[in-house]
Structure 1
Amino acid sequence: MPTALPSNPMSSEVTYLPGSTPLVLDSPHSGTHYPTDFGAALDLATLRRAEDTHVEKIYAFAPALGVAWVEAHFPRIYLDANRDTTELDTTLLDGEWTDPLSTDPQVLSKVRLGKGLIWKFTDDGEPIYNRLLSVAEVRARIERCWRPYHAAVAQAIGAAHARHGYSIHINCHSMPAVAGRFATDFPGLVHADFVVGDRDGSTASPALSALICEHLRGCGYSVEYNHPYKGVELVRRHGNPAQQRHSIQVEINRKLYMDERTLALHPEGLARLQADLQALVHKLLTNDPR
């Protein structure tokens, strides 16, 4: 059963299953519970193309292995839990935003693409809203969704590190077969089967990232390392290899397990991924990075 977070009573938008191993997995973008207060101008089928659909099913084996699991139920296009609260496009708002805002050029480039904390455009450049959002409703999204999610990930990683003296955090994602026009800085890029990111070795031991890449290549997949996805807020926030806190983002090409148009699962592709990723988890559980 999901564990409630005492410090975050409004945690119904997040599942947190504690673990007993050094390994923590989280899926911030696979949520499918579209809140009634969304007020988007697009139909549900269009909105759903932003999801990392079915990622929670791919890793469904993990909790039984003692791996901590955190999962967002709210959709990424409503609030992106893999962004910081400072990554906000204030042109979406009907009033003044008085909280801090990022000045990092890399962050601002994503915000300009419409991919900040609150999305402005879909990956195909469609405006998500035909209205301005109130400051109050954005704050409510942060309190109801962002804070409980980040509290759960922090709690899971902290507990794993306290138990074992190190933690390995895998931030679980999926990606389209081809990058959309407003998705990344590389529109139209044909993606590899997997992209493994550790922000150029700053959030995890490069040897640990190499182990993941080598395992996946050994399973017959094409793998890119830190291109075009290096990892964003969750690995940045929790990765500190000098303290034996290792955070790595893993992107899976959706063509491997689903129909991107209908969102239907490919059972054979799903089964293959689960077997190969379960073998990877076993390898990580027997690999002490210290």
Structure 2
Amino acid sequence: MNTVYRFKEGDSPLVLDSPHSGTDYPSDFGYACALPLLRQAEDTHVEKLYDFAPAMGAAWVEALFPRSYLDANRNTTEIDVDMFDAPWPHPVAEDPAVLAKVRLGKGLIWRATDDGVPLYQRKLSVAEGEARIANCWQPYHAAVAAAIDAAHARHGYCIHLNCHSMPAIASQFATGFPGEAHAEFVVGDRDGTTAHPALSQLVCEHLRGLGYDVAYNHPYKGVELVRRYSQPQAQRHSLQIEINRKLYMNEETLEMNAGFNALQANLKSLVALLLETDPRAL
């Protein structure tokens, strides 16, 4: 793979990234399940929803590789060692909450779809796993880190939005809450640890003021990208934003629906608000 992410430079304190909207399926993937099932893992059209952001001055980083090939929003230790044909020679997570996600088949390298369908009919080699980390995870994270560092250096603070979408109803193996009907938005800051709580509430209240049903830290709190690059005490704030796909697309056909334009306009108002917000004053 030559280009694994798209980057657009910004001049504001705001950085947006989309780690799960990639649709470039690499030739070495070797998956055995049907492609339409794999595509359900994508945060479909998220890159289109936010395509206005660079023109407003926000930096933008977008993964082009698919989430099911490698999930850039997971730590490199979130490995299902049973997927490989030899012992995995690198550190592996031991945290029970992390291991629960790995057991669902949703670690750094997916083992199964959200409905539990196996992706492979073979064991992966250790070299395959290492190559995916080196060729996808590392450059993507380097790009996000560089964008956040640049924004912070310019302004003395930065706000990072980690952009996602979610199904209307939680799949059986997607979260710890199978079958749950999701809110229209979920704002996550890992229980107030990745952003100033007042900033998180500003985002929640803005979205509620637009008429949306908004949940806070449930069932999505934010994962690796907001955890790794946030430091609120140093004015580095990261929020995960999950959008219910029913607002803008048909989840079966993946086609955008009539709600797309209105949703995009409301996201533009959110970005405008954050561009005017200095979290140091909150």
TM range (shorter): over 0.9
- Identical columns (%): 68
8 Å CA contact retained: 1:20, 1:68: yes
Matched residue, 1:44: 35
2:109 is the counterpart of 1:118:
yes
Alignment of 1:54-203 (within 5 A): 54-203=45-194
- Structure 1 match to 2:235: 244
Unaligned runs of 5+ in 1: 1-9
2:228 aligns to what SS in structure 1? helix
- Partner residue in 2 for 1:282: 272
| Alpha-carbon distance in 1 for matches of 2:2, 2:101 | 28
Q: Is the aligned partner of 1:269 residue 2:282?
A: no
Counterpart code for 1:56:
E
- Alignment length, in residue pairs? 280
Instruction: Tell me the secondary structure at the aligned position of residue 225 of structure 2.
Output: helix
How far 1:192 sits from its partner (Å)?
0.4
**d(CA) in 1 for partners of 2:266, 2:164:** 16
Equivalent-residue separation in structure 2 for 1:50 and 1:161 (angstroms): 32
Pick the aligned partner of 1:230 from 209, 214, 221: 221
Question: Aligned partner of 2:31: which letter?
Answer: A
Aligned partners of 1:171 and 1:242: how far apart in 2? 19
Equivalent-residue separation in structure 1 for 2:164 and 2:238 (angstroms): 13
Q: Counterpart of 2:6 in structure 1: which amino acid?
A: T
Q: Counterpart of 2:166 in structure 1: which amino acid? A: M
Residues 189-217 of structure 1: CA deviation (Å, up to 9, x unaligned): 00000000000000000100101100111
RMSD over aligned Cα atoms:
0.8
Amino acid at match of 1:73: L
Name the amino acid aligned to 1:48: R
- Provide the rounded CA distance (Å) in 1 between the counterparts of 2:233 and 2:243: 28
Partner Cα distance (1:101, 1:18) in 2: 34
Give 1:83's aligned amino acid: R
Match of 1:249, SS?
Answer: strand
1:249-279 Cα shifts (integer Å, max 9, x gaps):
000000000000000011x311111110111
For residue 3 of structure 1, what is the aligned residue in structure 2? none
CA contact (8 A) 1:11 1:148 kept: no
Q: What's the offset of the Cα at 1:43? A: 1.4
Q: What one-letter code is carried by the residue in structure 1 that aligns with 2:233?
A: A
- The residue number in structure 2 matching 1:255 is 246
| Structure 1 range deviating more: 162-171 or 93-102 | 93-102
Instruction: Give the secondary-structure state (helix, strand or coil) at the position aligned to 2:92.
Output: coil
Q: State the 1:11 CA deviation.
A: 6.0
Query: Could you tell me how far 1:68 is from its partner in structure 2?
Result: 0.2
Give, in angstroms, the shift of residue 44 of structure 1: 1.1
1:15 — aligned with what? Answer: 6
Equivalents in 2 of 1:18, 1:166: separation in Å? 17
Q: Deviations over 1:95-122 (max 9, x none)?
A: 1111111111111110011110001111
Q: TM-score normalized by structure 2?
A: 0.98
Q: Secondary structure at the match of 2:62?
A: strand
Would you say the 8 A contact 1:11–1:145 is kept in 2? no
Letter in 1 for 2:87: E
SS of 2:279's equivalent? coil
Deviations 1:161-200 (A, max 9, x none): 0000000000000000000000000000000000000000
Query: Of residues 181, 199, 216 in structure 1, which corresponds to 2:207?
Result: 216
